[in-house]
Structure 1
């Protein structure tokens, strides 16, 4: 039985390479059929905001990576509902909202957790 992995992305897409690295890890795991999940937490939920202009902040546009998650078999994509509300973001269609008290239960479902 393969070990499962949860990647928690806590950085905004324009704050440095961490957001891109989190997506790269998830996509690589999906390519090898690793049971994998992705949780957007804190400023990481900004990655789910529509209509981002990455060129204005001189960063790579991550929207194509997000759209590719399903193609790599990554269906377990979550976003902290509290983080979304705090930042004035609606619930994205690309992620299942999770209440803060459910996050610890989610983490317990996975063998390994990486936070970026």
Structure 2
């Protein structure tokens, strides 16, 4: 039976590889045929900004993998509207297609899930 799983990340993009671990988690759930969504909140939205070069910091470039999420049926990628505003980022500056959600929409998304995972 397919379950709805939401992966939430609110860590800085280069903080202890938490976004990389969140990516792995999303792919694991997708591999076992779960309906996976991913919500980026807080500083994690910075990971989605076009032009990032984590390999210059000695960190494996996970951004390339973010662009392949559709292949794994992880089609629902959400970003916090307030976080985009806090960091002065527009949706057009993001490397992947996302839906921006306000706080009420995020709460509605959370209530629709069978499981919520936050690393």
Using structure 1 for the length normalisation, give the TM-score: 0.93
Which residue of the partner structure matches residue 84 of structure 2?
Answer: 84
Secondary structure of the residue aligned to 1:39 is strand
Is 2:90 the counterpart of 1:101? no
Which residue of the partner structure matches residue 14 of structure 1?
Answer: 14
Unaligned runs of 5+ in 2: none
Which residue of the partner structure matches residue 73 of structure 1?
Answer: 73
What's the CA shift string for 1:55-110, capped at 9, x where partnerless?
Answer: 23221111111011100011111000110110111113521111122111000111
Aligned-residue CA RMSD in angstroms?
Answer: 1.2
Q: Distance in 2 between matches of 1:50 and 1:71?
A: 20
Equivalent runs, 1:40-55 vs 2, <5 Å: 40-55=40-55
Is 2:91 the counterpart of 1:113? no
Secondary structure of the residue aligned to 1:89 is coil
Shift of 1:32: 2.0
Q: Distance in 1 between matches of 2:76 and 2:97?
A: 10
Is 2:2 the counterpart of 1:2? yes
Moved more, 28-37 or 73-82: 28-37
Once superposed, which parts of structure 1, at least 4 consecutive aligned residues long, lie more than 2 Å away? Answer: none
Count residues in correspondence: 116
Contact 1:69 1:75 in 2 (8 A): yes
What's the CA shift string for 1:24-64, capped at 9, x where partnerless?
Answer: 11112112221111000001111111111112322111111
Contact 1:47 1:62 in 2 (8 A): no
Q: Distance in 2 between matches of 1:51 and 1:78?
A: 19
